[in-house]
């Protein structure tokens, strides 16, 4: 019997390039990432030290401890269905841009175009939300370290900022994003190394936090407490504001404008429902805590053209990032929940996670916890810029947006989309310049990303059931769900529809109207221009792809000689 030797790394890369050529694209980016690094980028963007920590108080104020004990695993199971459905498609189409390309192949150019724009909006808003939140968190952490009051002048008072001025938060955000962008610019190898390190930071950090709270914490709550429910903030109050005439009621707040809520006006029965605050309502509203954390794991697909053995490694990266995060996230949530000194006081704190840490531990150990969380946030922001720039690169490569040539330009020596990294980072920053926009960008990212996640899954399932057009099979997708694929796909689609509706309800009504306005702008753009000019993925000839690769190699050699 002849022994089959495993392929060398060079042979695997040659196969990856061949697979990419079959999809119609030349190998422009460096293929440096292994399976672990591919998993690491999605795991870093999910970042249980970011999403789960930033929205810890959001879930707690609506439903109490049970949202962590039961809500997190419940959301995790359904999110795994979405991730598994995406992973199977990633295995069939291992290319940058992922979702956009999948929808184009499975549903046509219009489907791909719409998926791309929802994915790009989600990428921009999640990067903006993560880095401005990191800036706010880090400023507060430094204030806590050194006892700096909120009204103390920042930067010597040169701009009239205090430590809690929005301008100062934006300044810190710039300081955070500059090294993140530079690391992305100067090569996927360094980015991959830091994403690998991020995995150890997150998992090691969670174990340190859990050990500190379990063994050195002052509070150790019972299991009955962990399963208890408590509504600290009534959802009607959370959805209300004070109008110019001094009355208080359900409102839609647009910066300085306070308008009467259109949803409550259309459905008057919502007032009594929200006032009663039944468990099913508050428990479901609190799902945002977990679901916002579980965003960005499409990054493993976006870096497929930089991944070795992309058909398998990108698929496993999508799925395992969610699976591992669900376990590690549950551990850290249980550690914090078991140490809650008082539910109402914790939910009302400026930073509930740090409130728990400093209430249970010495100042030094509390500082250790806060540093671990801050490091996780910065690493999360680093990974989001990688994913965001690759999505814009892929869509620009096919002429899908204005100034497309800016986004698909590749530096021949660095082999990274330098202009895409810079421009998308600036766009993400600009989304946060107006302070009221922060609350929109942090919530709309969940809606837009999951719509983008759902669309290719829907088209794949539709084609399977019709047995018509392209769809995943064991032959074209080595990472296959087999006979269970259709039912898993269906569950994933129903879940995304459910959370899309849920997260548009008050107190997140602004997300609904922002999404509607965004969709209307896309409708005008599509029928006014893109429908006539956008052709979908551009498949190059074999000769053209080889010419592009040879030209990049020549330019890179020329720069190296210089």
Helix/strand/coil (H, E, C) string of 14-42?
Answer: HHHHHHHHHHCCCCCCCCCECHHHHHHHH
| Lowest mean pLDDT, pick from 74-78, 120-124, 342-346 | 120-124
SS (H, E, C) 260-278: ECHHHHHCCHHHHHHHHCC
294 or 95: whose pLDDT is higher? 294
- 408: domain CATH number? 1.20.1740.10
225-239: average pLDDT: 94
Asked if 470 and 463 touch (Cβ cutoff 8 Å), the reply is: yes
459 has a pLDDT exceeding 90: yes
Q: Write the CB contacts of 295 (distance below 8 Å, at least 6 apart in sequence).
A: 45, 46, 51, 122, 126, 445, 446, 449, 450
Is the pLDDT reported for residue 4 higher than 60? no
Position 159 in a domain: yes
Tokens 């209307």 belong to residue: 520
Confidence of residue 25 (pLDDT cuts 50, 70, 90): confident
Model confidence pLDDT, tens digit, residues 6-16: 677 777 877 87
* Domain that residue 173 falls in: 34-234+277-561
Beta bridge partners of residue 254, listed in sequence order? 257
Tell me how long the chain is: 562
Taking only the tens place, the pLDDT of each residue in 374-400 is 999 999 999 899 888 888 888 888 888
User: Which pLDDT score, from 0 to 100, does residue 437 have?
Assistant: 61
Contact by Cβ (8 Å): 271, 281: no
Nearest to 496 by CA among 18, 88, 118: 118
User: Considering the domain boundaries, does residue 73 fall inside one?
Assistant: yes
Give the strands of the sheet with 248-254, arranged side by side: 240-242, 248-254, 257-260
pTM of the model: 0.89
Provide the number of structural domains found in the chain: 1
Alpha helices (runs of H) in 251-362, residue ranges in sequence order: 262-266, 269-276, 279-285, 288-293, 299-302, 310-338, 343-347, 352-360
Say which residue the tokens 């550690």 belong to: 335
pLDDT of residue 303: 84
Distance, CA of 470 to chain centre: 28
Residue of 508 and 88 predicted with greater confidence: 88
Residue 339's pLDDT band (cuts 50, 70, 90): very high
pLDDT band at 361 (very low <50, low <70, confident <90, very high): very high
In a domain, 349, yes or no: yes
Q: E strands of 115-205, at which residues?
A: none
For residues 463 and 11, which has the higher predicted lDDT (pLDDT)? 463
Q: What is the largest CA-CA distance in the chain?
A: 87
pLDDT recorded at residue 557? 67
What's the confidence (pLDDT) of residue 68?
96
Quick check: 19 and 249 in contact, CB under 8 A?
A: no
In a domain, 555, yes or no: yes
- Mean pLDDT, all residues of the chain: 89
Quick check: is 211 in a domain? yes
DSSP state of 505: S
Cα-Cα-Cα-Cα dihedral of 90, 95, 97, 102, to 10°?
-50
Give residue 548's pLDDT: 74
Q: What is the pLDDT of residue 554?
A: 75
Report yes or no on 172 lying in a domain: yes
Mean pLDDT over 275-299 rounds to: 93
Taking the CB of residue 466, how many other CB atoms lie within 10 A of it?
9
Answer whether residue 283 is part of any domain.
Answer: yes
Q: What is the pLDDT of residue 435?
A: 61
- 3-state SS, residue 164: coil
**CA contacts within 13 A on the Cβ side of 147:** 1
Residue 72 has pLDDT above 90, yes or no: yes
Structure tokens at 52: 């789960």
Give the mean pLDDT of 410-423: 84
CA distance 472 to 109: 18
Is 18 inside a domain boundary? no
Give pLDDT tens digits for 509-522: 988 998 899 999 99
In 10 A of CB 348, how many CB atoms? 15
**How many beta carbons lie within 10 A of that of residue 151, not counting itself?**
9
Q: How confident is the model at residue 345 (pLDDT cuts 50, 70, 90)?
A: very high
Of residues 537, 384, 506, 415, the one with CA closest to residue 28:
415
Q: Which whole number is the average pLDDT over 107-135?
A: 92
Check whether 182 has a pLDDT greater than 80.
yes
- In the predicted structure, residue 319 carries a pLDDT above the cut 80: yes
């Amino acid at each position: 019997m002849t022994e089959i030797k495993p392929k060398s790394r060079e042979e695997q890369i040659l196969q990856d390039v061949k697979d990419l050529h079959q999809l119609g694209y030349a190998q422009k980016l460096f293929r440096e990432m292994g399976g672990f690094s591919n998993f690491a980028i999605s795991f870093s963007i999910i970042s249980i030290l970011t999403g789960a920590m930033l929205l810890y108080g959001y879930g707690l104020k609506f439903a109490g401890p049970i949202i962590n004990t039961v809500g997190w695993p419940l959301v995790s199971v359904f999110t795994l269905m979405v991730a598994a459905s995406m992973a199977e498609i990633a295995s069939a189409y291992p290319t940058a841009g992922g979702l956009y390309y999948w929808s184009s192949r499975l549903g046509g150019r219009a489907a791909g175009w719409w998926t791309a724009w929802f994915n790009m909006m989600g990428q921009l808003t999640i990067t903006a939300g993560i880095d401005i939140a990191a800036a706010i968190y880090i400023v507060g952490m430094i204030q806590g370290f050194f006892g700096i009051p909120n009204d103390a002048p920042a930067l010597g008072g040169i701009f009239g900022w205090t430590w809690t001025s929005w301008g100062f938060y934006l300044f810190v955000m710039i300081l955070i994003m500059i090294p993140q962008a530079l690391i992305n610019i100067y090569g996927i190898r360094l980015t991959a190394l830091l994403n690998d390190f991020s995995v150890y930071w997150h998992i090691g950090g969670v174990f340190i936090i859990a050990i500190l709270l379990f063994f050195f914490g002052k509070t150790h709550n019972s299991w009955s407490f962990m399963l208890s429910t408590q509504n600290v903030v009534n959802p009607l109050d959370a959805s209300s504001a004070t109008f110019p005439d001094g009355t208080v009621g359900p409102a839609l707040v647009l910066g300085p404008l306070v308008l009467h809520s259109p949803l409550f006006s259309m459905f008057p029965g919502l007032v009594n429902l929200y006032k009663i605050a039944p468990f099913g309502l508050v428990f479901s509203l609190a799902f945002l805590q977990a679901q916002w954390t579980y965003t960005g794991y499409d990054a493993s697909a976006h870096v497929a053209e930089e991944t070795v053995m992309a058909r398998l490694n990108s698929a496993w990266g999508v799925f395992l990032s969610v699976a591992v995060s669900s376990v590690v996230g549950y551990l850290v949530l249980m550690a914090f929940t078991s140490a809650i000194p008082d539910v109402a006081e914790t939910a009302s704190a400026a930073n509930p996670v740090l409130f728990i840490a400093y209430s249970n531990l010495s100042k030094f150990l509390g500082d250790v916890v806060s540093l671990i969380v801050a490091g996780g946030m910065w690493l999360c922001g680093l990974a989001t810029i990688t994913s965001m720039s690759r999505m814009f690169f892929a869509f620009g490569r096919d002429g899908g947006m204005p100034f497309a040539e800016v986004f698909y330009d590749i530096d021949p020596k660095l082999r990274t989309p330098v202009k895409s990294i810079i421009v998308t980072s600036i766009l993400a920053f600009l989304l946060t310049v107006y302070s009221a926009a922060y609350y929109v960008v942090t919530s709309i990212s969940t809606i837009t990303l999951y719509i983008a996640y759902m669309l290719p899954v829907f088209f794949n399932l539709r084609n399977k059931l019709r047995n018509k057009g392209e769809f995943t099979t064991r032959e074209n997708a080595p990472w296959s769900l087999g006979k269970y694929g259709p039912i898993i796909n269906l569950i994933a689609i129903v879940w995304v529809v459910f959370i899309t509706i849920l997260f548009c309800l008050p107190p997140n009504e602004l997300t609904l109207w922002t999404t509607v306005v965004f969709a209307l702008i896309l409708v005008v753009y599509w029928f006014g221009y893109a429908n006539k000019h956008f052709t979908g993925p551009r498949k190059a000839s074999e000769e053209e792809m080889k010419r592009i690769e040879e030209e990049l190699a020549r330019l890179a050699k020329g720069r190296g000689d210089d």
